[in-house]
């Protein structure tokens, strides 16, 4: 990941005629050198909209939906009238950022608004212009923000330098307190604390594998343990999941579960160390276990495809492309240096969550 990114979102108005229309949305951050743009798919009959935006300077994209909160009385009198409607939109970003925006309609397909991300960075936007108008808006926005500082980004090491701490996820791999996490979660930290079972534990760093982005740390406690199986048996299309602690400062310290599938058995440029997955992950999920439908660890959640690089190289944005280090690169770090498989029976994911959640820990580094 690169620096803390952000983006903007937007929303559209609702109802009236009858079909789905697509139109641009463009905006800029008030205090940072960042311009965002994308499009809105607006179902005029249902009054719903899907929003997709991308940031030019930072490597994130966002998507979400909108809703109408206020309809003027005059709109019920004049058929097809949307002016004055107000609503909000909520978007999730590829870097874990969450954005909320409020908007007001000028017509059934045009409007404007403003919003904030979870750190309070304000942005403004407009939607519903034609393509030429959108390009003009973007050019003007670029000029307006060119001399402003870069939008902050998220990475544990940089976050520690800025805020004094950062967070990630880890999981027990022995009954003696051994924990696997990502190398980049604890990189250059002077103190590693594990939050587990309502208590905090000081952790000792035992092994580091920078090349494969994995690490083994340990606390002094009797603990549950996840089974670690070779990733050699996984298949494309297979259901997988992860448990972890994304964005604890915003979403809280309750454990979150995310679900998806295996998309590829290799990573960027066919790197065989990685599995490509579409399991949604956010900052803080790093270091969490990738679990198969038997509850075995087959990988360690590691990264999201760099949005900006992909945009520059191909002209398009990747859709939910994430990666996990294969468990085969974790096994050599395990305390007994061998693969351990506890359960080989398929299970429902809700049951796996209940069985495995006690083996997942919050990693706090300073």
Residue 356 has a pLDDT of 95
Structure tokens at 302: 């590691």
Which residue, among 336, 252, 353, 261, has the nearest Cα to 299 in the 3D structure?
A: 261
Residue 306 has a pLDDT of 52
Contacting residues for 278 by C-beta, under 8 A, at least 6 apart: 260, 261, 263, 320, 321, 322
Residue 153 has a pLDDT of 55
How many other C-beta atoms are found inside a 10 Å radius of the C-beta of residue 232? 10
Residue 273 has a pLDDT of 92
How many other C-beta atoms are found inside a 10 Å radius of the C-beta of residue 69? 11
Contacting residues for 190 by C-beta, under 8 A, at least 6 apart: 366
Q: Which residues of the chain have pLDDT under 50?
A: 1-18, 307-312, 337-339
What pTM value is reported for the model? 0.57
Residue 155 has a pLDDT of 56
Residue 60 has a pLDDT of 79
Tens digits of residue pLDDT in 349-362: 999 999 999 999 99
Quote the CA–CA distance of 311 and 289 in Å, as a whole number.
29
Residue 156 has a pLDDT of 57
What domains lie within the chain, and their CATH numbers? Answer: 20-145 (2.40.128.120), 156-366 (2.40.10.120)
Residue found under tokens 């579409």: 278
Q: How many helices (H) and strands (E) does the chain have?
A: 7, 21
Tens digits of residue pLDDT in 250-260: 778 889 999 99
Residue 189 has a pLDDT of 86
- CA end-to-end distance (rounded Å), the chain: 19
Strand 214-218 and strand 199-202: pairing? unpaired
């Amino acid at each position: 990941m690169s620096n803390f990114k952000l983006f903007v979102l937007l929303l559209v108005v609702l109802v009236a005629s009858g079909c789905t229309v697509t139109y641009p949305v463009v905006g800029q951050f008030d205090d940072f050198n960042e311009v965002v743009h994308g499009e809105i798919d607006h179902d005029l009959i249902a009054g719903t909209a899907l929003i997709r935006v991308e940031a030019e300077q930072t490597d994130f994209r966002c998507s979400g939906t909108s809703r109408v909160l206020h309809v003027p009385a005059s709109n019920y009198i004049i058929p097809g009238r949307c002016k004055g409607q107000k609503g909000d939109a909520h978007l999730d970003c590829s870097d874990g950022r969450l954005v909320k925006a409020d908007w007001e309609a000028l017509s059934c397909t045009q409007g404007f608004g403003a919003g904030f991300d979870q750190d309070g960075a304000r942005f403004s936007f407009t939607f519903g212009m034609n393509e030429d108008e959108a390009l003009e808006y973007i050019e003007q926005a670029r000029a307006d923000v060119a001399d402003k500082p870069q939008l902050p980004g998220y990475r544990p090491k940089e976050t520690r330098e800025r805020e004094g701490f950062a967070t990630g996820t880890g999981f027990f791999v022995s009954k003696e307190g051994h924990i696997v996490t990502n190398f980049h979660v604890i990189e250059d930290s002077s103190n590693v604390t594990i939050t587990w079972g309502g208590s905090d534990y000081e952790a000792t760093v035992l092994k580091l594998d920078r090349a494969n982005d994995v690490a083994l740390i340990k606390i002094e406690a009797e603990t549950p343990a996840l089974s670690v199986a070779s990733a050699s048996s996984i298949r494309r299309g297979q259901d997988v999941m992860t448990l972890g602690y994304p964005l604890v400062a915003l979403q809280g310290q309750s454990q979150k579960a995310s679900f998806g599938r295996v998309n590829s058995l290799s990573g960027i440029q066919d790197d065989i160390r990685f599995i490509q997955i579409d399991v949604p992950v956010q900052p803080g999920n790093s270091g969490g276990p990738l679990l198969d439908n038997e509850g075995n660890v087959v990988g360690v959640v590691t990264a999201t495809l760099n949005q900006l690089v992909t945009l520059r190289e191909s002209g398009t944005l990747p859709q939910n492309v994430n990666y996990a280090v294969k468990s085969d690169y974790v096994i050599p770090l395990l305390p007994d240096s061998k693969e351990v498989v506890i359960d080989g029976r398929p299970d429902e994911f809700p049951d796996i969550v209940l069985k495995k959640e006690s083996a997942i820990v919050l990693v706090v580094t300073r």
